[in-house]
A and B are shown apart, each in its own frame.
Chain A
Amino acid sequence: MLSIEATNINVNIENKADHYIITIKSDYSEEKYKRIEKLMRALTSPKTEEIEEYYWELTGESDTDTELYLVGMMVDKSEISIVDNMLELKLYKCK
């Protein structure tokens, strides 16, 4: 989010019966719109269990890589939308 020059980021986590929903809302800079496109591509990567099982320990280990593709492969579903200049990400992860 910081890479798209967000100044107001809200994170919400819902613990449902059989899944979690992580909702992130933030503003963004228009100049960084290409990064949002990259974010969308990354987070809509198909879920790949065999990659998640092996590579999940890489998440959060890098100062230089956002690892968004890895996150995309780990979540079960993602929804991305832009409403009133606010970016909203919803990530679903089954328990």
Chain B
Amino acid sequence: MDSPSVILKGLHTIINEPDILITDYIAIGGIGATFVNSGMLTLISILILHRLKININGISVAAVFLMSSFALFGKNLFNVWLIIIGVFIYSKVQKEKFSKFIYIALFGTSMAPTITELMFFIDQPLLIRIALGIIIGLSIGFVLPPLSSFMLKVHQGYDLYNIGFTAGLIGTIYVSLFKSYGFVPKSNIIWSTGNNTVLMPFLFLVFSSMIISGFYMNGKSFRSLKKVYSYSGRLLCDFVTLEGFGITLVNMGLNGFMGMAYVLLIGAEFNGPTIGGILTIVGFGAFGKHLRNITPIFLGVFLGSLTKIWSISDPPIVLAALFGTALAPIAGEFGWQYGVLASFINSSVVLNVGVLHGGMNLYNTGFSAGIVATTMIPIIQAFRKEENN
């Protein structure tokens, strides 16, 4: 793809440029550097899980894929560590093993752009920027464990990107404080185009190999796929534990093809953010998502495009559909019509909450999905109780 020197230069650019939403690393660093960044973060995540002797299950797969996917547009080899160390410090203060908080640490790197912004882009002397970056980064990691656990009660597990919801709130508070001191993050949309002929075959190969491997691991059958589809997807829905790794791999591959098909159908580009969105759907194919509960989400965004002022292929809307599958459990539990409605609403909410955290929370759709789920679930359940009575 690219020579080592071009990759190194690209990695340097990726680390030194702002990472706030939406920053496509393919546009700023090139395909080679972007995929090296993603590959290395993936391997490091797997190594961390291995060293902590974590048993690999659905949530492990989701966590690793989230690192891979967001390493295409926001997380890099420099900006993820302070948050992870912050979680580590929390575990030591609580006198608990760090391994108990590992998923919170990995998922929590959603706020990695904050570190880059503070260290490189505020108008302060170098030492102050470094000190601020360290303090803020560590503090984000430190508050994430108790907050993220608590937030699960708010949406009751119907927002799969719980950390996105939590990080959105944390980011809102931090950015409000930053603005009070004159620092206003600049939003941008950096979006590469023209790479479909290179990236599509790569994705096709990856997802095909998942389906084929899963088929063979599952005793050369697609047995249990129907059972996978019977789950609502609400947290905690670990397909690896529930139905086995083989059929989970098949499910992940099918989810990948669904994501690809959606991007192609709407005429969008395959780039860092969209591949990131597809890989997130794939990763959560081990932890809640399947074709039955993600299809209504795509449909909801499509219906929104028919009546709202935006186009379905606008970059933020493409991501709203791909990442809006965080609301898949609503479709899975209550029916496709509620999934469509949740997605229809979310596609508007997601466009308006990014300003609260200044684009520093990469899981912005997780934040908006948490707001939508928190609002919709009590209402749906109240009417359901009335129907049952």
Interface residues of A (CB under 8 A from B): 45-46, 48-58, 61-65, 67, 69-70, 73
Contacts and interface: CB of A to CB of B under 8 A. Distances in A.
A50 B381 contact: no
Interface of B: 54-55, 57, 59, 96-97, 99-104, 145, 148-150, 152-153, 156-157, 232, 234-236, 238, 241-242, 333, 381, 385
Contacts of A51: 59, 103, 236
Given A58-B157, A63-B381, A69-B242, A50 B235 contact: no
A63 B156 CA distance: 10
Contact of A54 (B96, B103, B232): B103
Contacts of A48: 55, 57
B59 A62 contact: no
B142 to A, nearest CB: 15
A58 B235 contact: yes
Contacts of A64: 232, 333
B99 A49 contact: yes
Given A57-B150, A69-B241, A50 B156 contact: no
A69 B149 CA distance: 17
A62 B238 contact: no
Contacts of B97: 49
Given A55-B236, A65-B232, A50 B102 contact: yes
A19 B333 CA distance: 35
A60 to B, nearest CB: 9
Contacts of A45: 241
Contacts of B104: 53-54
B234 A50 contact: no
A19 B323 CA distance: 42
Contact of B152 (A46, A49, A58): A58
A53 B98 CA distance: 11
A31 B278 CA distance: 42
Contact of B236 (A46, A49, A63, A70): A70
A55 B152 contact: yes
Given A62-B156, A65-B157, 4 more contacts: A53-B96, A53-B101, A54-B145, A62-B234
Contacts of B101: 50, 53-54
Nearest to B231: A65
Nearest to A38: B242
